[in-house]
C-alpha cells in the first residue's frame, strides 16, 4: 500500500446489519415499522416527544446487546496500520465503530449514546432512557433534553471537516449505504471532482449511486470489508 494513500470511508446502516441492527430501507427495515416524519424530524418531536423518546430509548437499550462485526474490526485494523491517513465518516448513530477500536471517526448524524439540552446546548453521554421529565445536569431545566441525533431537515455535524477530508483523499469508499440520504449520498460526486481520486462501493447489492463508483464489490460487509483491507495491506491469505 503506498504511503501517500489517504482514505475516507463512509459507512451506513448496512455495516451494522450483521451485528443485529436493522437497516432503514431493506425489507423489514426501520422505515417499514416507523414513519420517518413521526420519529426522525423536528416536527415529529414537537408533535409527540414521548413517541420519539420511546423510539430512541428502545434502540439505546438494545445497543448494549449487540457487538461489532468483522467489518468494524477490519476498519479498526486499517486505522492501526495507516493512522491519520484514514477517516471514517459514519451515518450510523450506533457505537460499534468505537467498540471495534476506531478513533478517527465522525458521526455526521449524531450518536444514540449522547443527548443534549435544547435550553443550554450541553451534550453528555447517556446509556439509559430520557423523557420530557429528564432534568439537564447543566441548566437544571427539564423538557429540553433530546437525542443528540441529526433528524431530517437538520444540518449534519462536522460538515467542513468532512468536505476537507474528501477534497484531500486519494480514495473514497462507501460501505453499507443505500445512497438515499443527502448530503452523504453526494460525497462520492465530490470525491470524483478530484482528479485521480479512486471511488469504491462495498455493499450487499448495488446502491442507488452505484454507477458513480469506479469500483464495486458486493457481498456481506463482514466478508467484503476484511477482504478489501487484507488486499490493501497485503495481508490477504491468497
Residues known to be catalytic: 109
Q: Which is nearer to ligand BV8, 85 or 96 (CB)?
A: 96
Cα separation, 70 vs 178, whole angstroms: 20
List the one residue out of 147, 181, 158, 183 whose CA is nearest residue 42: 147
Q: What is d(CA 166, CA 21) in angstroms, rounded to the nearest whole number?
A: 27
Does the protein bind ligand BV8 through residue 69 (CB under 6 A)?
no
- Cell triple for residue 22? 436493522
Cell 451515518 belongs to 91
Q: Which of 3, 28, 64, 153 binds ligand BV8 (CB under 6 A)?
A: 153
Nearest-CB residue for ligand BV8: 14
By the rule CB under 6 A, 221 interacts with ligand BV8: yes
Determine, following the binding rule CB under 6 A, whether residue 24 of this chain makes contact with ligand BV8: yes
Grid coordinates of 108: 455526521
Using rule CB under 6 A, residue 57 touches ligand BV8 = no
Strands 105-107 and 145-149: unpaired
CB count, 10 Å around CB of 134?
18
Q: Which stretch binds ligand BV8 (CB under 6 A): 123-131, 200-208, 209-217, 229-237?
A: 200-208
Is residue 49 a contact residue for ligand BV8 (CB under 6 A)?
A: no
Q: Does 203 bind ligand BV8 (CB under 6 A)?
A: yes
Q: How far is the CB of 55 from ligand BV8 (least distance, A)?
A: 8
Q: Which of 4, 65, 182, 238 binds ligand BV8 (CB under 6 A)?
A: 182
Burial class (CB in 10 A: 0-12, 13-18, 19+), 153: exposed
111 lies in the binding site for ligand BV8 (CB under 6 A):
no
C-alpha cell at 212: 458513480
Q: How far is it, in rounded angstroms, from Cα 132 to Cα 144?
A: 7
**Strand 145-149 relative to strand 123-125: parallel, antiparallel, unpaired?**
unpaired
Interacting residue with ligand BV8 among 149, 162, 191, 227 (CB under 6 A):
149
Q: How far is the CB of 94 from ligand BV8 (least distance, A)?
A: 9
Question: How do strand 123-125 and strand 110-117 relate by DSSP bridges?
Answer: antiparallel
The only residue of 152, 161, 168, 189 in contact with ligand BV8, by rule CB under 6 A? 152
Residue 19 in contact with ligand BV8, rule: CB under 6 A: no
φ, ψ for residue 123 (rounded to 5)? -120, 135
- Identify residues 162-181 at the interface with ligand BV8 (CB under 6 A): 176-178, 180-181
Residues in contact with ligand BV8 by the rule CB under 6 A: 12-14, 17-18, 23-26, 29, 40, 91-93, 109, 149-156, 159, 176-178, 180-183, 203-205, 207, 220-221
Amino acid at each position: 500500500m503506498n504511503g501517500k494513500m489517504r482514505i475516507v470511508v463512509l459507512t451506513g446502516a448496512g455495516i451494522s446489519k450483521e451485528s443485529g441492527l436493522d437497516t432503514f430501507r431493506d425489507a423489514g427495515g426501520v422505515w417499514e415499522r416507523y414513519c420517518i416524519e413521526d420519529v426522525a424530524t423536528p416536527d415529529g418531536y414537537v408533535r409527540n416527544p414521548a413517541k420519539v423518546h420511546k423510539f430512541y430509548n428502545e434502540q439505546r437499550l438494545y445497543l448494549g446487546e449487540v457487538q461489532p462485526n468483522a467489518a468494524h474490526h477490519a476498519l479498526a485494523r486499517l486505522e492501526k496500520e495507516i493512522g491519520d491517513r484514514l477517516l471514517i465518516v459514519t451515518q450510523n448513530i450506533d457505537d460499534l465503530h468505537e467498540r471495534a477500536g476506531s478513533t478517527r471517526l465522525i458521526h455526521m448524524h449524531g450518536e444514540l449514546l449522547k443527548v443534549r439540552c435544547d435550553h443550554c446546548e450541553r451534550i453528555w453521554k447517556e446509556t439509559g432512557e430520557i423523557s420530557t421529565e429528564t432534568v439537564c445536569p447543566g441548566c437544571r431545566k427539564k423538557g429540553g433534553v433530546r437525542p443528540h441525533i441529526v433528524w431530517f431537515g437538520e444540518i449534519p455535524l462536522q460538515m467542513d471537516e468532512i468536505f476537507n477530508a474528501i477534497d484531500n483523499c486519494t480514495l473514497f469508499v462507501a460501505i453499507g449505504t443505500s445512497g438515499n440520504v443527502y448530503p452523504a449520498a453526494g460525497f462520492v460526486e465530490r470525491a470524483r471532482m478530484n482528479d485521480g481520486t479512486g471511488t469504491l462501493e462495498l455493499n450487499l447489492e448495488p446502491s442507488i449511486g452505484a454507477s458513480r463508483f469506479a469500483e464495486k464489490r458486493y457481498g456481506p460487509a463482514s466478508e467484503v470489508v476484511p477482504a478489501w483491507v487484507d488486499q490493501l495491506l497485503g495481508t490477504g491469505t491468497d
